[in-house]
Structure 1
């Protein structure tokens, strides 16, 4: 019976250590992994999680894109960005639609915002001007090598 208790305890620790979702961004206290600014903007923050479960948070999507230039993207399990229309809500960065509009400032001055659906992005583009991008197009614009 003692061996089963030890085995059960070991299994519990292993399951707790296997984190399959990124940790939440602590707005106002977490720092950007790329530029070290405090992450406060709930409309423009971003993060990715590695296949080993480590989470990296950024104050803006452009910081995450700039950081991706220096790492092996094959190690990344998921990319997330804040939905501009739902501040604080993280969405799949690879499925988001992006708007670069000089009328919508972002923390690092690239005027880059992410949207969870194309309709919302188009509506905001009509109101503010700018240009729409997919994830792949955005990586090309920021010279991020796609692995």
Structure 2
């Protein structure tokens, strides 16, 4: 009976600590994009998905993440992350970001898509570079078309 109790404690321990739902650092220049298979080198446009089981998918651009989602069970996704345009290499919650599509800001896959943590930064960049602003909801709807 004592041994069974130890196994149960161990099983509970494994359950709680085996699924670490958190982002992983992107190794620029060596990690590959899950969608297009290009090496991730752009430090302002990379993105990442983390599933509820802790599996991490890395992308060289937000547009690759959006295309990947079209053939993926999104109910399994815990985190949608994208780099903040104003802070290279800093991942932010994509669902709370403001996105800018501007022909004057190239992104790795040609969608001209950049993410901003603060809407005010996105508006400022829009005034300087032109383009259209999107929320996560409007952006995902645009990419479904």
Q: Is the pair's TM-score, using the shorter chain for normalization, greater than 0.5?
A: yes
Confirm whether residue 60 of structure 1 aligns to residue 54 of structure 2. Answer: no
- Worse-matched range after superposition: 17-26 or 100-109: 17-26
Where does residue 121 of structure 1 map in the other structure?
Answer: 122
Task: Give the count of matched residue pairs.
Answer: 144
For residues 103 and 141 of structure 2, the distance between their equivalents in structure 1, rounded to whole angstroms, comes to 20
Q: What is the SS of the residue equivalent to 2:95?
A: coil
Contact kept in structure 2, 1:31 and 1:37, CA below 8 Å: yes
Contact kept in structure 2, 1:44 and 1:107, CA below 8 Å: yes
Residue 28 of structure 1 deviates from its aligned partner by 1.1
- 1:98-113 to 2 correspondence within 5 Å? 98-113=99-114
Residue 14 of structure 1 deviates from its aligned partner by 4.9
For residues 106 and 8 of structure 2, the distance between their equivalents in structure 1, rounded to whole angstroms, comes to 53
For residues 108-144 of structure 1, give each alpha carbon's deviation from its aligned partner in whole angstroms, at most 9, with x where no partner exists. Answer: 0000000001000000000000000000100111017
Contact kept in structure 2, 1:22 and 1:54, CA below 8 Å: no
Q: Classify 1:13/1:74 alpha carbon distance in 2 versus 1 (closer, same or farther; 3 Å).
A: closer
Root mean square deviation of aligned Cα: 1.8
For residues 53-98 of structure 1, give each alpha carbon's deviation from its aligned partner in whole angstroms, at most 9, with x where no partner exists. Answer: 1010000000000011111111101100000000000000000000
For residues 137 and 6 of structure 2, the distance between their equivalents in structure 1, rounded to whole angstroms, comes to 49
For residues 94 and 26 of structure 2, the distance between their equivalents in structure 1, rounded to whole angstroms, comes to 15
Residue 20 of structure 1 deviates from its aligned partner by 2.4
Residue 17 of structure 1 deviates from its aligned partner by 1.9
State the TM-score, normalized to the length of structure 2.
Answer: 0.90
Structure 2 gaps of 5+ residues are none
Structure 1 gaps of 5+ residues are none
